[in-house]
Structure 1
Amino acid sequence: MAFAGAAATTAGATAGALPAQAAGAVVPGFLHGVASGDPLPDGILLWTRVTPSADAVPGSGVGADVAVKWEVAEDSGFHRVAARGSVITGAARDHTVKVAAHGLRPGTTYWYRFIVAGVTSATGRTRTAPAAGTAVQRLRMGVVSCANWQAGYFSAYRHLADRGDLDVVLHLGDYLYEYGPGEYQARDVVVRPHDPAVEMTTLSHYRRRHAQYKTDLELQALHAAVPFVVTWDDHESANDAWSGGAENHTEGVEGSWASRQAASQQAYAEWMPVRYEPGGHLYRRFSYGALASISMLDLRSYRSQQASNMVDPAIGDPARTLTGAAQMDWLLDGFSGAETQWKLIGNPVMIAPVRFPSTLSAREVGAVSQLLGSTTIDGVPYNVDQWDGYTADRSRVISHLRDNAITDAVFLTGDIHSSWACDVPADPLTYPSNGASVAAELVCTSVTSDNLDDILGTQPRTASVAVEEAFKAANPHVKYLDFDSHGFSVLEVTPGALRMDWYVLSDRTSRAATSTLSASWQVAAGTQAVSRVL
């Protein structure tokens, strides 16, 4: 079936230019690649964007409706077609196409493509999930977050695409950024400017920015190689977004938050390979046989405003929420009712508590606060944008895991442009003397977005090293921390253990960046604790 868009673009939207790759391109054509996502045992979601005419650029609201054929085959030559169909797309959904292909076999690799007016898209490869209850010996996924176009090139995506051994890619948010050129990038250097050349606030803006990111050839290669499972964090709409606003939104001057949020969510629904449409909910769950479930959280749509210029008790006010009531119930029910061994949570912001060391200089506190999305309340830094700022909700999760003896729960987190391996203590004040860790948390670093060394203006692995050691000393449940490196992670899940490998890029501003394995940490089955492998 096709996923219909919610509304046409706003009147008077400014049309963007065709991508650089489109110069001299055949029209109609496929300029933004192909993608797949949200794998089920019997189906997969397929995505592309059609450019039916030279004027039908993203965000323009221009262009005729077109019929798009799609095919899914058991071989790359499409000799054994498993499913096919045709859908109509048009300006109402920015000429994007989403198809839910059904009737496929579990745990099977397929190839897919789209055809419009005799023009065929690139071929994508995807894979369905194993059947429910199936004994699965291994699940391997790429884990990424925080890819800022202006701060560098997406070499991390290229390295993941070249592996050829991934079942899925988990994108934990900040797939794109809202800022205009010069507002947020690599050490105040715009490696490549955003389009449109303004902060995105309207539907046309969000569509054009999604389109720009989808012209990146390394991102296209990864989408074409592996299915994605995604969630958003804040920059898909605006920095530090909450249900009623955002730090980077000025009500009235930039329109209403309700309109801006709706525009960002509509563009996300149109341009991402995700089983989400405006009016529904983004949080959802996938299973890989009896081995693992993946629960993807939405921690922006329902949250209360972050604590700011308030006294400390606001942090733990039970009237404030990060998840919203319905999503919290869904999350806890998923733990208790899980029919899989590993309970993986796609978690956009960090859940393990983080206490700021008292030994940091004012400059270091400021830099780390900028990195972690923190603020200072009564002179004490708090991670108010993370679960640290919503301790009543976190207590519900931790109590549920502890009281119900839930095992093998692992939070997979993005957002903070750094790499962490942590225990999640039942009580951080008595950890580790009581030995109680209810879960583990593994945090991937940024693809390109600024890290601590970028904020401090220092060389990597110099000034940040002492800050890392101070944080680990102040937080004994934090076992591994790298504040500096850009890159990606690879997660391997087996019945005996879950392991994350962190890979760092040589230079995010180089198209030819290499990658190096920097660290490996695991969670042995039944332990709820991280331990070092490499």
Structure 2
Amino acid sequence: MIAKNMRFVSLLTLGCVVAVQATKLFDRNLAYSSPFVGYPQFSHDTRKLQARHVAYVKRQTVDNTGFDDEHYPTFYGADFSNAPFIWSGGINFTHSVASMQGDPFDTSVLLWTRAVPIGTPDQSVPVCVSFKIFDNPNLNGKPLDSGEAFTSYDVDWTLKVEATNLKADTKYWYQFADCTNAKTVTTIGATRTLSSPNTPANLVNGGKPLTLAVFSCSRFQDGYFNAYGVAAHNTSADVFVHLGDYIYESLGNGAAIGRKVLGRELATIFDYRQRLGQYRTDVSPTSLINHRDDHEVADQAWKAGTADSNDTMVGCAFSPSGACFTDRKLAAVRAYHEWIPIRQVDVDDKLRIWRNFQIGKLLDLTMLDTRNYDRDITDLYYNTDINSIADFQNRSLMGAEQESWFYNTLSQSQSRGAVWRIVGQQIVFTQLDEQGEFDVDAWDGYRANRNRILDHIQNNRISNTVILSGDSHANWVSDLAHPNDTSYDPVTGKGSLAVEFAGTAVTSSSSFGAHIAPLAADAISQIIVTDPLNSDLQWSEGSYRGFFTLTLDPHTATATYYAMRNISNPNLDAFASAVFTVKAGANKLTRPVAGGSVAAGILKASPSVLPTGV
């Protein structure tokens, strides 16, 4: 009788120990809680996952009568390699590693990988992955942080963990491994922390200029993501920023270059996971601070719908996927948080992703959400002409809460003594008349909101604001003044309040026409830059796919635009198409703009275009 009772206590103790350890290891993988931290009814309840896990452990410690398992580990031991309650049949790290996507802070970074079990494990069996982070590329010495975490089919075998207790403004190297077999490891990834907010501007990045590489619009079927590789290998970029359309929900055969997308138009969690996984198979690295635009959910997204899935009485009827907007958005956002190690911001605030990074006293990097948060209705291709409501004062691209936060962030940035205010957002800000048409899906469809931002900058004398934009699939560089403000001089830049650098797509087709040649694109640019309604616009280029870098020091901001010569195959063949500077305190592009000459596109004043590719 005593022996039986002792055996019962032993089993109970084992169950409690396993339960605590399992919950801890589930919780360490942030993919389980994102994007619904604190709301188990919406996110993955790790307590329930732990209960499922403990039920599996129980199968290893009691008579198997009543269980239908045809396979499970039957050996025991003191370390993970012999543990009876995790997968030990081997794993495959299918998508390498990522980190700089993980919103780096000054003392921590997010690390990401995907660990798929080899074989067909019981779904109640988690995969255990360990990680270590070091201060050297050879991974020598004691790791600065390490640990284990579980992943499972519930989160598509993805894993994101936070490495903490790091030094500010420092580069690190990290690696993941199979807990049950230390020889199964990922490639070694590199990451970095940001400078602490109070670091003097001239000491940020070790005293060297800090360079951001800026991307948008990477459509898989249109070409290879060579821009990522060029930025990683051929520039000195320190931080990669993606302004949206990191994936596309649409179909495309890409047959000519072997880039056919998998599946169907995205609607379910499976669809979005599959597409994210396919995009991450491109050979160029994609470690970015990411932002969502419309295509991460569906085309022309706004707060209550998209072009083909709206929360209306007939909303589902015309969606090729058969999905309503809310279901589609929640599936997209969950998969995005699994595959892109973005930090949780505020689950109580409409799946908010807008946030601010204080990078020493050199800059504030303010990331807005001008698409999914609280955007009023946009052009859905079939609805009322948005031009007729674009000037309405109560119309907002950002929502009242985000607007208020943005104004406070700009003011606080100046008050704290940051030199530059760099604003990352999705769509073209300046007024842009494109041969008689305005893109009302951009800021031209929300003119009062744009004016409120310019008013805040002007009335509060906020200096050194640089807006970064994407989405348009073409390059645009502008001074920023109130549209049609006659006090602004496009020749000298007098009257400008800020500057905008808008970049072309990584691969997505030009808004000037798919595969348009440089000369044909330049003819269109010539018309646009000389249009009196586009007085702020100083450069336009619409043929090349690519990206741009923004290099910052306490005195100067320098934007260098890069053009890919060929995206039909993986390569690093690119050239710098134009270089622009902004002096601290000037709030305008330095004259002559781009030094008076560019290698592609058209400048407003006395353009001197070098032969393409020079």
TM-score band by shorter chain is: 0.7 to 0.9
- Verify the 8 A CA contact 2:134 2:174 in the aligned structure 1: yes
> Is residue 305 of structure 1 aligned with residue 332 of structure 2?
no
Select 1:469's aligned residue among 509, 512, 526: 526
Change in CA separation of 1:150 and 1:55 when aligned onto 2, cut-off 3 Å? farther
Cα distance in 2 between the residues matched to 1:522 and 1:297: 24
Cα distance in 2 between the residues matched to 1:383 and 1:75: 48
Look up the match of 1:262: 330
Select 1:240's aligned residue among 300, 312, 315: 300
What are the equivalent positions in structure 2 for 1:80-95 lying under 5 Å apart? 80=141, 81-95=143-157
Larger radius of gyration: 2
Answer 1 or 2: higher relative contact order, Cα 8 Å, separation at least 6: 1
How far off is 1:92 after superposition? Answer: 1.8
Cα distance in 2 between the residues matched to 1:244 and 1:122: 41
How far off is 1:50 after superposition? Answer: 0.9
Look up the match of 2:353: 282
> Is residue 327 of structure 1 aligned with residue 402 of structure 2?
yes
- Verify the 8 A CA contact 2:387 2:445 in the aligned structure 1: no
Report the residue type matching 1:201 in the other structure: A
> What percentage of aligned pairs have identical amino acids?
29
Look up the match of 1:100: 162
What are the equivalent positions in structure 2 for 1:39-438 lying under 5 Å apart? 39-54=104-119, 64-80=125-141, 81-116=143-178, 117-118=180-181, 119-135=184-200, 136=204, 137=207, 138-163=209-234, 165-182=236-253, 191-196=258-263, 198-219=264-285, 222-223=286-287, 228-249=288-309, 251-253=315-317, 254-276=322-344, 279=347, 280-301=351-372, 302-307=374-379, 308-310=383-385, 312-338=387-413, 339=416, 340-358=418-436, 381-433=437-489, 435-438=494-497
Cα distance in 2 between the residues matched to 1:108 and 1:200: 39
- Verify the 8 A CA contact 1:265 1:278 in the aligned structure 2: no
- Verify the 8 A CA contact 1:420 1:443 in the aligned structure 2: yes
Change in CA separation of 1:178 and 1:501 when aligned onto 2, cut-off 3 Å? same
Q: Which moved more, 1:80-89 or 1:275-284?
A: 275-284
Q: Which moved more, 1:199-208 or 1:241-250?
A: 241-250
Look up the match of 1:519: 578
Select 1:483's aligned residue among 542, 563, 566: 542
How far off is 1:131 after superposition? Answer: 1.5
Look up the match of 1:11: none
How far off is 1:453 after superposition? Answer: 5.1
Cα distance in 2 between the residues matched to 1:120 and 1:419: 41
User: What whole-Å deviation, never above 9, does each CA across 1:151-187 have from its counterpart, x for those lacking one?
Assistant: 11111111122137321101111111111234xx6xx
Cα distance in 2 between the residues matched to 1:103 and 1:326: 33
> Is residue 442 of structure 1 aligned with residue 486 of structure 2?
no
- Verify the 8 A CA contact 1:239 1:247 in the aligned structure 2: yes
User: What whole-Å deviation, never above 9, does each CA across 1:385-417 have from its counterpart, x for those lacking one?
Assistant: 111101121111110000000000000111111
Change in CA separation of 1:520 and 1:248 when aligned onto 2, cut-off 3 Å? farther
Cα distance in 1 between the residues matched to 2:453 and 2:428: 13
> Is residue 508 of structure 1 aligned with residue 572 of structure 2?
no
For structure 1, the residue ranges without an aligned partner over 5 or more in a row are 9-25, 359-380
User: What whole-Å deviation, never above 9, does each CA across 1:425-461 have from its counterpart, x for those lacking one?
Assistant: 1343415349321111001111111014543x64x21
SS in 2 for 1:468: helix
Report the residue type matching 2:412 in the other structure: G
- Verify the 8 A CA contact 2:474 2:510 in the aligned structure 1: yes
Look up the match of 1:32: 95
Report the residue type matching 1:314 in the other structure: I
Cα distance in 1 between the residues matched to 2:128 and 2:212: 34
Change in CA separation of 1:54 and 1:277 when aligned onto 2, cut-off 3 Å? farther
Cα distance in 1 between the residues matched to 2:189 and 2:235: 13
Change in CA separation of 1:249 and 1:55 when aligned onto 2, cut-off 3 Å? farther
SS in 2 for 1:316: coil
User: What whole-Å deviation, never above 9, does each CA across 1:253-287 have from its counterpart, x for those lacking one?
Assistant: 42210000000000111100210379341111112
Report the residue type matching 1:305 in the other structure: I
How far off is 1:190 after superposition? Answer: 6.2
Change in CA separation of 1:462 and 1:191 when aligned onto 2, cut-off 3 Å? farther
SS in 1 for 2:522: helix
- Verify the 8 A CA contact 1:52 1:64 in the aligned structure 2: no
Change in CA separation of 1:243 and 1:443 when aligned onto 2, cut-off 3 Å? same
Q: Which moved more, 1:61-70 or 1:485-494?
A: 61-70
- Verify the 8 A CA contact 1:7 1:93 in the aligned structure 2: no
How far off is 1:488 after superposition? Answer: 1.7
How far off is 1:515 after superposition? Answer: 0.6
User: What whole-Å deviation, never above 9, does each CA across 1:85-119 have from its counterpart, x for those lacking one?
Assistant: 11111122111111111110001110011111322
- Verify the 8 A CA contact 1:30 1:48 in the aligned structure 2: yes
- Verify the 8 A CA contact 2:556 2:582 in the aligned structure 1: yes
User: What whole-Å deviation, never above 9, does each CA across 1:341-360 have from its counterpart, x for those lacking one?
Assistant: 100011101111112345xx
- Verify the 8 A CA contact 2:91 2:115 in the aligned structure 1: yes
Cα distance in 1 between the residues matched to 2:217 and 2:125: 35
- 4+ residue runs over 6 A deviation: none
Cα distance in 2 between the residues matched to 1:64 and 1:168: 37
Report the residue type matching 1:329 in the other structure: S
Across the two proteins, how many residue pairs are aligned to each other?
A: 479
- Verify the 8 A CA contact 1:71 1:84 in the aligned structure 2: yes
- Verify the 8 A CA contact 2:230 2:572 in the aligned structure 1: no
Cα distance in 2 between the residues matched to 1:75 and 1:437: 46
Change in CA separation of 1:356 and 1:215 when aligned onto 2, cut-off 3 Å? closer
Cα distance in 2 between the residues matched to 1:312 and 1:278: 33
* TM-score of the two chains, using structure 2 as the length reference: 0.74
How far off is 1:205 after superposition? Answer: 0.1
Change in CA separation of 1:311 and 1:205 when aligned onto 2, cut-off 3 Å? closer
- Verify the 8 A CA contact 2:362 2:554 in the aligned structure 1: yes
- Verify the 8 A CA contact 1:130 1:288 in the aligned structure 2: yes
- Verify the 8 A CA contact 2:241 2:290 in the aligned structure 1: yes
User: What whole-Å deviation, never above 9, does each CA across 1:512-533 have from its counterpart, x for those lacking one?
Assistant: 3501111101111111112324
SS in 2 for 1:422: strand
Look up the match of 1:12: none
- Verify the 8 A CA contact 1:40 1:129 in the aligned structure 2: yes
Look up the match of 1:372: none
Cα distance in 1 between the residues matched to 2:124 and 2:523: 56
Cα distance in 1 between the residues matched to 2:508 and 2:307: 18
- Verify the 8 A CA contact 1:110 1:125 in the aligned structure 2: yes
Q: Which moved more, 1:519-528 or 1:301-310?
A: 301-310
Change in CA separation of 1:506 and 1:54 when aligned onto 2, cut-off 3 Å? farther
Change in CA separation of 1:146 and 1:311 when aligned onto 2, cut-off 3 Å? closer
Cα distance in 2 between the residues matched to 1:38 and 1:146: 20
Report the residue type matching 2:156 in the other structure: D
- Verify the 8 A CA contact 1:108 1:128 in the aligned structure 2: yes
Cα distance in 2 between the residues matched to 1:507 and 1:241: 30
